[in-house]
Amino acid sequence: MVKHSPQHQKAQQSGRRRPPQPRKQDIVRQPVKPLSREDVAWVKSMIVFEDALIMGFNKPSGLSSQGGRGDGLNLDDMMFAFARSNGKRPNLIHRLDRDTSGILLVAKTHPATSFLGKALARRAFAKTYLCVVSNPDGLPDKGTIEVPLRREEIGRESYSRVCDPDHAEAQAARTDFEVFEPHERCRPGQCSPYTGRMHQIRVHLAHVGAPIAGDVRYRTAALSLDGFPRQAADAACPRPDLSPPGRW
């Protein structure tokens, strides 16, 4: 027998119907604050690819994908620069860390958003991150780091932590990496995350003793490279119109 709350029973007895709720895709969001002409010009200058379904943006280091610190704009807010007359606007398919530069894909229609979201969930995306690792001694030229991670909240900040596989909050995480010719105390390299945990590459590399240069959050002893973006990313994914996969 299904039990209902007193409030639900009272509503049923009154004979009143619940008003129809708007579908998620029908809810029109509003910008946090108006975009200036300079903001619009800036976000348009980031476009590296566009067709009827997808846009690709070269997100700079220092710009948050969503949310972010303070009351500054993020890339998600800036999608209102492309809003249609009905108020609907493109949707981010994935995110990059604030200090990571690289390609970020955006869907222009609801069907494209749904298609690419499902493709991301089934790991049909191929993402590659370029980085510079410090303390590379002992790191093999190529390998896989497969260590579970858990999320931790400290105040308003979120962190990823390495944890035991049997931890209640453990999430499987795998990163494939390859490093190239060494240069003094660092080596350039590339990483391909099979899973998409928060800060995954940064935490995995710090865990094996080769933190990303400039990443003070997860390893204070990491080599500093002033003015160099922490990572640069490109992406490949299936296309909603079933044409050959795109790479950006």
- Based on the residue annotation, tell me whether 97 is a catalytic residue of this protein: yes
Beta-carbon contacts of 228 under 8 Å, excluding residues fewer than 6 positions away, are: 132, 213, 214
Catalytic residue among 39, 71, 77, 97: 97
CA atoms in the 13 A half-sphere facing the CB of 129: 26
Q: Verify that 113 and 132 share a domain, yes or no.
A: no
pTM for the predicted model, two decimal places = 0.72
In contact, 216 and 230? CB cutoff 8 Å: no
Annotate 88-130 with DSSP letters as a single string.
Answer: ---EESS---TTEEEEEEEESSHHHHHHHHHHHHTT--EEEEE
Helix or strand (DSSP H, E) at 205? helix 200-207
Supply the CATH number for residue 160's domain: 3.30.2350.10
**Distances in whole angstroms, Cα of residue 208 to Cα of each of 136, 137, 146, 172, 230:** 10, 11, 11, 17, 18
**And the tokens for 152?**
């931790």
- Residues 150-161: pLDDT tens digits? 999 998 888 999
Please, which pLDDT band fits residue 37 given cuts at 50, 70 and 90? very high
Domain boundary among 104, 122, 140: 122
- Whole-number pLDDT of residue 97: 86
Please give the single-letter amino acid code of residue 59: K
Distance of CA 102 to the CA centre of its chain: 11
Residue 200 and residue 177: Cα distance in Å, rounded? 12
Q: Please state, in angstroms and rounded to a whole number, the distance separating the CA atoms of residues 182 and 205.
A: 16
State whether 118 and 133 are in the same domain. Answer: no
- If asked whether residues 111 and 138 sit together in one domain, one would say no
Question: What confidence score (pLDDT) does residue 1 get?
Answer: 47
Average of per-residue pLDDT values in the chain = 83
- pLDDT for position 230: 54
Whether residues 147 and 221 fall in one domain: yes
pLDDT tens, residue by residue, 65-117: 988 665 678 999 999 999 998 889 999 999 888 888 889 999 999 999 999 99
**Per the domain annotation, does 15 fall within a domain?**
no
Quick one: 134 and 227 in the same domain? yes
| Domain assignment of residue 148, given as a range | 128-233
- Assess if residue 112 is contained within a domain: yes
